[in-house]
Chains A and B, each alone.
Chain A
Amino acid sequence: QITLKESGPTLVRPTQTLTLTCTFSGFSLSTSGVAVGWIRQPPGKALEWLALIYWDGDTRYCPSLKSRLTITKDTSKNQVVLTVTNMDPVDTATYYCAHRDGEKFDYWGQGTLVTVSS
């Protein structure tokens, strides 16, 4: 059974760096073909893909946010970490991590709401 859970701060100040951790079980990020992604959703708005990391360490980023995003993995801990620099109130959103199978996200975490405010 695959499960994912996001953790991190619920409140960050403008200009700070956000660090979110996705802890998962039921699969290994060292298995060929496996990937984990991050998706966010501002309140009342649409889903927005942020980043993806593959089993081999390869990464992909949303082009418009690429300069602010870093995704890494710790295979031994079954964790994927997303950092977002220079946070702004418009970055207020629920952040989800999800397991990618093929081209689809078949398992999602419950999401964590991050508010950016001074």
Chain B
Amino acid sequence: SYELTQPLSVSVALGQTARIACGGTNIGIKNVHWYQQKPGQAPVLVIYRDSNRPSGIPERFSASNSGNTATLTISRAQAGDEADYYCQVWDSSTVVFGGGTKLTVL
């Protein structure tokens, strides 16, 4: 079965740029979606189809996907960006989530 690998945690200084990786075999040929989940809340879609932002998501959130790694980038990180982030793809008609990355804003 297909697996997505994310770092357990990423730290970023306030106002700096955070990058969260999502690794998978040839993930570059798949559509990757990213979710933000704050404590006690349901996940929120922040990026879909590799690099598209839903309405209401700040431009500070961007993403790319190539080769074996997809990357979520959060520019000018704010305290409110502190959350768990999950990548997601479809593989063989099933949904696959990454293990999640906890973003800490210092």
Q: Give the B-binding residues of A (Cβ under 8 A).
A: 37, 39, 46-49, 52, 60-63, 96, 102-106, 108-111
Contacts and interface: CB of A to CB of B under 8 A. Distances in A.
Given A103-B31, A109-B42, 17 more contacts: A46-B98, A46-B100, A47-B88, A47-B97, A47-B100, A49-B96, A49-B97, A52-B95, A61-B94, A96-B43, A102-B49, A104-B33, A104-B49, A105-B33, A105-B88, A106-B45, A108-B43
Given A103-B31, A103-B90, A108 B42 contact: yes
A66 B22 CA distance: 26
A105 B54 CA distance: 11
Nearest to B92: A63
A27 to B, nearest CB: 16
Contacts of B88: 47, 104-105
The 5 A-B pairs of least Cβ separation, nearest first, read: A49-B95, A108-B42, A104-B33, A104-B48, A47-B97
B86 A49 contact: no
Interface residues of B, number: 24
A39 B42 CA distance: 11
Contact of A46 (B44, B90, B99): B99
Q: Is the interface of A mostly helix, strand, loop or mixed?
A: strand
A110 B88 CA distance: 19
Nearest to B1: A63
A22 B99 CA distance: 25
Interface string B75-87: 0000000000010
Contacts of A106: 45, 48, 54
13 contacts: A39-B95, A46-B97, A46-B98, A47-B35, A61-B94, A62-B94, A103-B31, A103-B33, A103-B90, A104-B33, A104-B49, A105-B45, A110-B42
